[in-house]
Amino acid sequence: MTATGILAALRERDRTGRGQRVDMALLDVGVAMAANQAMNFLASGRAPGRLGNQHPNIVPYQVFPCADGHAIVAVGNDAQHRRFCALIGAPELAEPPHDTNPGRLAHRATLIPAIAARTARMTKADLLAGCEAAGVPAGPINDMGEVFADPQVIARGMRIEPGGVPGLRTPLRFSDSPLALERPSPRLGQDQGAADPWAG
Protein backbone atom coordinates (compact mmCIF):
# COMPACT_ATOMS: atom_id res chain seq x y z
CA MET A 1 0.00 0.00 0.00
CA THR A 2 2.82 2.40 0.85
CA ALA A 3 4.63 1.66 -2.40
CA THR A 4 1.41 2.27 -4.33
CA GLY A 5 0.87 5.53 -2.45
CA ILE A 6 4.40 6.66 -3.25
CA LEU A 7 3.95 5.84 -6.93
CA ALA A 8 0.65 7.76 -7.00
CA ALA A 9 2.30 10.76 -5.32
CA LEU A 10 5.17 10.68 -7.81
CA ARG A 11 2.70 10.57 -10.67
CA GLU A 12 0.85 13.55 -9.21
CA ARG A 13 4.18 15.37 -8.86
CA ASP A 14 4.84 14.71 -12.54
CA ARG A 15 1.46 16.26 -13.33
CA THR A 16 1.49 19.26 -10.95
CA GLY A 17 5.14 19.79 -10.04
CA ARG A 18 4.28 19.55 -6.32
CA GLY A 19 5.49 16.90 -3.90
CA GLN A 20 3.49 15.68 -0.93
CA ARG A 21 3.66 13.57 2.20
CA VAL A 22 2.19 10.06 2.03
CA ASP A 23 0.55 9.19 5.37
CA MET A 24 0.13 5.44 5.94
CA ALA A 25 -0.97 3.67 9.12
CA LEU A 26 -0.75 -0.06 9.69
CA LEU A 27 -4.20 -0.07 11.31
CA ASP A 28 -5.74 1.67 8.27
CA VAL A 29 -4.19 -0.91 5.96
CA GLY A 30 -5.39 -3.78 8.14
CA VAL A 31 -8.96 -2.46 8.07
CA ALA A 32 -8.81 -1.85 4.30
CA MET A 33 -7.54 -5.40 3.70
CA ALA A 34 -10.72 -6.79 5.29
CA ALA A 35 -12.61 -5.68 2.17
CA ASN A 36 -15.10 -8.56 1.74
CA GLN A 37 -15.81 -9.00 5.42
CA ALA A 38 -15.98 -5.25 6.03
CA MET A 39 -18.48 -4.68 3.22
CA ASN A 40 -20.62 -7.58 4.45
CA PHE A 41 -20.71 -5.98 7.90
CA LEU A 42 -21.37 -2.46 6.59
CA ALA A 43 -24.22 -3.72 4.38
CA SER A 44 -25.86 -5.98 6.97
CA GLY A 45 -24.77 -4.75 10.39
CA ARG A 46 -23.87 -8.34 11.30
CA ALA A 47 -20.30 -9.14 12.33
CA PRO A 48 -19.04 -12.19 10.39
CA GLY A 49 -17.73 -15.26 12.18
CA ARG A 50 -14.56 -17.13 11.42
CA LEU A 51 -14.45 -18.71 7.99
CA GLY A 52 -10.85 -19.86 7.69
CA ASN A 53 -10.01 -19.96 3.98
CA GLN A 54 -13.64 -19.92 2.85
CA HIS A 55 -14.97 -16.99 0.85
CA PRO A 56 -17.74 -15.17 2.75
CA ASN A 57 -19.97 -14.71 -0.31
CA ILE A 58 -19.12 -17.47 -2.82
CA VAL A 59 -19.48 -21.23 -2.31
CA PRO A 60 -17.49 -23.40 -2.93
CA TYR A 61 -14.44 -21.17 -2.81
CA GLN A 62 -11.89 -22.56 -0.37
CA VAL A 63 -9.30 -25.22 0.47
CA PHE A 64 -10.30 -28.84 -0.06
CA PRO A 65 -8.50 -32.01 1.04
CA CYS A 66 -6.95 -34.35 -1.51
CA ALA A 67 -5.50 -37.82 -1.09
CA ASP A 68 -1.98 -36.33 -1.07
CA GLY A 69 -2.45 -32.84 0.34
CA HIS A 70 -4.74 -29.88 -0.27
CA ALA A 71 -5.86 -27.67 -3.14
CA ILE A 72 -7.77 -24.42 -3.41
CA VAL A 73 -10.87 -24.42 -5.59
CA ALA A 74 -12.44 -21.08 -6.55
CA VAL A 75 -15.84 -21.76 -8.12
CA GLY A 76 -16.99 -18.33 -9.26
CA ASN A 77 -20.40 -18.98 -10.86
CA ASP A 78 -23.17 -21.53 -11.30
CA ALA A 79 -21.82 -22.97 -14.57
CA GLN A 80 -18.42 -23.58 -12.97
CA HIS A 81 -20.16 -25.26 -10.04
CA ARG A 82 -21.96 -27.67 -12.36
CA ARG A 83 -18.70 -28.54 -14.13
CA PHE A 84 -16.86 -28.91 -10.82
CA CYS A 85 -19.48 -31.28 -9.40
CA ALA A 86 -19.33 -33.36 -12.59
CA LEU A 87 -15.55 -33.68 -12.47
CA ILE A 88 -15.57 -34.83 -8.83
CA GLY A 89 -18.22 -37.41 -9.74
CA ALA A 90 -21.06 -35.75 -7.83
CA PRO A 91 -23.36 -34.07 -10.37
CA GLU A 92 -26.21 -34.28 -7.85
CA LEU A 93 -24.44 -31.61 -5.76
CA ALA A 94 -25.24 -29.12 -8.53
CA GLU A 95 -28.98 -29.73 -8.29
CA PRO A 96 -31.38 -27.58 -6.19
CA PRO A 97 -30.80 -26.16 -3.66
CA HIS A 98 -27.13 -26.05 -4.72
CA ASP A 99 -27.75 -24.87 -8.28
CA THR A 100 -27.36 -21.17 -7.40
CA ASN A 101 -24.81 -19.38 -5.25
CA PRO A 102 -27.46 -18.11 -2.78
CA GLY A 103 -28.57 -21.73 -2.33
CA ARG A 104 -25.00 -22.88 -1.84
CA LEU A 105 -24.41 -20.12 0.71
CA ALA A 106 -27.53 -21.15 2.64
CA HIS A 107 -26.51 -24.83 2.60
CA ARG A 108 -22.73 -24.41 3.01
CA ALA A 109 -22.70 -26.54 6.18
CA THR A 110 -23.86 -29.66 4.32
CA LEU A 111 -22.48 -28.96 0.83
CA ILE A 112 -18.83 -28.47 1.78
CA PRO A 113 -18.43 -31.81 3.62
CA ALA A 114 -20.06 -33.59 0.67
CA ILE A 115 -17.60 -31.99 -1.74
CA ALA A 116 -14.65 -32.62 0.59
CA ALA A 117 -15.52 -36.32 0.79
CA ARG A 118 -15.16 -36.52 -3.00
CA THR A 119 -11.99 -34.42 -3.35
CA ALA A 120 -10.31 -36.39 -0.54
CA ARG A 121 -10.34 -39.44 -2.84
CA MET A 122 -8.50 -37.60 -5.64
CA THR A 123 -4.83 -36.69 -5.90
CA LYS A 124 -3.96 -33.02 -6.19
CA ALA A 125 -2.75 -33.62 -9.73
CA ASP A 126 -6.00 -35.32 -10.79
CA LEU A 127 -8.21 -32.67 -9.17
CA LEU A 128 -6.20 -29.81 -10.69
CA ALA A 129 -6.09 -31.43 -14.13
CA GLY A 130 -9.85 -31.90 -14.00
CA CYS A 131 -10.38 -28.29 -12.92
CA GLU A 132 -8.09 -27.07 -15.69
CA ALA A 133 -9.99 -29.06 -18.31
CA ALA A 134 -13.35 -27.87 -16.95
CA GLY A 135 -12.37 -24.21 -16.68
CA VAL A 136 -12.69 -24.14 -12.89
CA PRO A 137 -10.07 -21.97 -11.14
CA ALA A 138 -7.96 -24.05 -8.77
CA GLY A 139 -4.42 -24.32 -7.48
CA PRO A 140 -2.31 -26.59 -5.29
CA ILE A 141 -1.16 -25.89 -1.77
CA ASN A 142 2.49 -26.83 -2.02
CA ASP A 143 5.10 -27.53 0.60
CA MET A 144 8.48 -25.86 0.01
CA GLY A 145 9.90 -28.93 -1.75
CA GLU A 146 7.00 -28.82 -4.19
CA VAL A 147 7.44 -25.07 -4.64
CA PHE A 148 11.06 -25.41 -5.74
CA ALA A 149 10.28 -28.43 -7.93
CA ASP A 150 7.56 -26.48 -9.77
CA PRO A 151 8.52 -26.11 -13.45
CA GLN A 152 7.56 -22.42 -13.53
CA VAL A 153 9.59 -21.64 -10.39
CA ILE A 154 12.54 -23.42 -12.02
CA ALA A 155 12.02 -21.62 -15.34
CA ARG A 156 11.89 -18.25 -13.57
CA GLY A 157 15.14 -19.04 -11.72
CA MET A 158 13.73 -18.25 -8.28
CA ARG A 159 16.34 -20.42 -6.54
CA ILE A 160 19.81 -18.96 -6.80
CA GLU A 161 23.13 -20.13 -5.36
CA PRO A 162 25.62 -17.27 -5.60
CA GLY A 163 28.95 -18.39 -4.15
CA GLY A 164 27.40 -21.77 -3.38
CA VAL A 165 24.98 -20.21 -0.87
CA PRO A 166 21.32 -21.06 -1.58
CA GLY A 167 18.92 -18.17 -1.67
CA LEU A 168 15.88 -16.61 -3.29
CA ARG A 169 15.93 -14.41 -6.35
CA THR A 170 14.06 -11.14 -6.11
CA PRO A 171 10.79 -11.33 -8.06
CA LEU A 172 11.54 -7.92 -9.59
CA ARG A 173 12.63 -8.03 -13.22
CA PHE A 174 13.48 -5.01 -15.34
CA SER A 175 13.81 -4.73 -19.09
CA ASP A 176 16.93 -2.53 -18.90
CA SER A 177 18.32 -2.60 -15.35
CA PRO A 178 20.53 -5.61 -14.56
CA LEU A 179 20.41 -7.05 -11.04
CA ALA A 180 23.43 -8.13 -8.99
CA LEU A 181 22.49 -11.76 -8.40
CA GLU A 182 26.04 -13.11 -8.36
CA ARG A 183 26.84 -12.06 -4.76
CA PRO A 184 25.65 -14.15 -1.79
CA SER A 185 24.20 -12.64 1.35
CA PRO A 186 26.95 -11.46 3.73
CA ARG A 187 28.14 -13.88 6.38
CA LEU A 188 27.46 -13.02 10.02
CA GLY A 189 29.93 -10.26 10.95
CA GLN A 190 31.45 -10.16 7.45
CA ASP A 191 31.55 -6.37 7.38
CA GLN A 192 33.22 -6.06 10.79
CA GLY A 193 36.63 -6.72 9.29
CA ALA A 194 39.39 -7.89 11.63
CA ALA A 195 37.11 -7.44 14.64
CA ASP A 196 34.84 -10.18 13.32
CA PRO A 197 34.55 -12.75 16.16
CA TRP A 198 33.33 -15.34 13.65
CA ALA A 199 36.27 -14.96 11.26
CA GLY A 200 37.93 -18.29 10.73
Catalytic residue set: 55
Full strand arrangement of the beta sheet holding 69-74: 61-66, 69-74, 138-141
| Complete DSSP assignment for 134-154 | HT--EEEE--HHHHHH-HHHH
Backbone angles phi, psi at 141, to 5 degrees: -100, 110
What gap in Å lies between CA 69 and CA 141, rounded to an integer?
7
Length of the chain: 200
What gap in Å lies between CA 101 and CA 60, rounded to an integer?
9
Q: How many CB atoms lie within 10 A of CB 136?
A: 26
